Amino acid sequence: MALFPLPAWSPHGGGVARCRGIIVSHETVRQWARKFGQQFANQIRRRLPRVGDKWHLDEVVLKISGVKHWLWLAVDQTGIVLDVLVQRRRDKQAAKRLLRKLLKKQMRPPRVMITDKLASYGAAKRDVMPGVEHRQPAEQQSGEFAPADAPTRAADEAVQICRPGSAVPFSARPDQ
């Protein structure tokens, strides 16, 4: 199947079809999308990496314009970021919102959910995902999901995450 770089209905697109005498209307494009759209979506979904069945949830405090907010982060066991949510609260309602958002996005619950000792996770899990196993590590190291032989904080701070348009100067970016 050949894909044209410009839509057939645009004034500049459909040049090959137009040269061959093929006229494509808006309705034809709509019918094609209805007929083949699900197949395209399924192919794209198959190429995405599979999300693991073990979710790690954590929250970090942020100050945005001097106001305290909480960044809620969910990753799977391979490190794929499942979702990020910024809220002003750190309670059961906020945890429920994160879990509902995760379930809606992932379309299936995890086998295991690993969190820190924040009681809001357990309360929200009982309401949203009662059948999921919930693990809370016995000892936390400064609020992190770090094993006993984890690298030091100085090594962690040396790692920088750069995004296009960030405040880091172009010459200071580690990927350059």
The dihedral through the CA atoms of 39, 42, 46, 47 has a sign that is positive
Residues facing 55 on adjacent strands: 76, 113
Phi, psi (5° rounding) for residue 85? -140, 135
> b/e map of 38-47 (b: 16 or more CB within 10 Å)?
eeeeeeeeee
Tell whether the model's pLDDT for residue 155 goes beyond 60: no
Tell whether the model's pLDDT for residue 170 goes beyond 90: no
The domain defined by 54-139 folds into Nucleotidyltransferase; domain 5 (3.30.420)
Tell whether the model's pLDDT for residue 96 goes beyond 70: yes
pLDDT of residue 10: 56
pLDDT of residue 97: 94
Provide the 3-class DSSP secondary structure of residue 120: helix
pLDDT of residue 128: 92
Tell whether the model's pLDDT for residue 21 goes beyond 90: no
The helices-and-strands tally (H runs, E runs) of the chain is 5, 5
- Spell out the domain ranges in the chain: 1-48, 54-139
Tell whether the model's pLDDT for residue 144 goes beyond 60: no
Residue 172 or 66, more confident: 66
pLDDT of residue 172: 47
Residue 126 or 138, more confident: 126
Residue 61 or 1, more confident: 61
Q: Write out pLDDT tens, residues 24-61.
A: 888 988 999 999 999 998 898 888 778 889 999 999 99
pLDDT of residue 125: 92
Task: Give the mean pLDDT of the chain.
Answer: 78
Q: How would residue 171 be classed by pLDDT, with cut points 50, 70 and 90?
A: very low
Q: The whole model's pTM is what?
A: 0.55
pLDDT of residue 13: 54
Residue 36 or 9, more confident: 36
